[in-house]
Amino acid sequence: MCRLLVDIGNTNVACAWMNEGLELLGVLSTGAGLLDSLPGMPAEVWVASVADVVHTARLLGPLHEAGIPVVEVRVLDHAGFLETRYHPAQLGVDRWLGLLACRARGRYPAVVVDVGTATTVDLLDSEGIHQGGYILPGLDMMRSALLAGTAIRMYEAPIVCAGDTLPVDTMGAIHCGAIQVQVALIEKLSASQPPGGWVVLGGGMASMIAAHLRCRRETMEHMVLHGLAVLAKGGGACVG
């Protein structure tokens, strides 16, 4: 069965084609429809959305009109696939699916990080049980909040954050400061894990954080789509 997997985020929409394996189709351009440029017509569509109801309905409308079955994933509907200590009704589907993908790949114990509009940091213990986590403003949001709340003025300048070298200009101090705050939390949590644990990073800005981590780490592109693949397959090993 050919399935279309869709991750509707706060900023972007990412898709994957799932047949025998998983083919990542990338991020939709502005105004593109979910059925545009597909390798075929899907038998069904699995969707994870953290966007508002109106935006989600607009994107899914053509699928319903075409008579394609759509599964909108909600944590409470699939809670048995991943044990969590977090309040399940308050756990974002994107976080939940990222954790599910990591567990299916055997990446636990782990600090699971999604660096996007917001940064989420979650812990999987040595049994693959979600212990809870943190939500931080994303890197852009941290910088924007600081600039909005102070008299600092933005200016164009090349910014390089090199290891432990302290920034010597204001924009560098803001940009690198936002990175180091998130790196410090991740490394602190990583150090608290049993030996052999992982830090798994996803999200559009994962590379910025990964470059500054000293701990064992792995980047999983489109983590939510990999989690959708696990769920669509029935909760077993990751596809692709």
Catalytic center residues: 94
Structure tokens at 20: 């025998």
* CB environment 127-160: b (16+ within 10 A), e (fewer): ebbbeebeebbbbeebbeeeeeeeeeeeeeeeee
The span from the CA of 45 to the CA of 121, in Å, is 28
Secondary structure class of 79 (helix, strand, coil): helix
The span from the CA of 186 to the CA of 35, in Å, is 38
**Is residue 47 within 8 Å of 60, Cβ to Cβ?**
yes
Residue 26: left (phi > 0), alpha (psi -120 to 50), or beta? Answer: left
The span from the CA of 95 to the CA of 88, in Å, is 11
Based on its alpha-carbon atoms, the radius of gyration of the chain, rounded to whole angstroms, reads: 19
Give the number of other CB atoms < 10 A from CB of residue 200: 26
Q: Which amino acid is at 221?
A: E
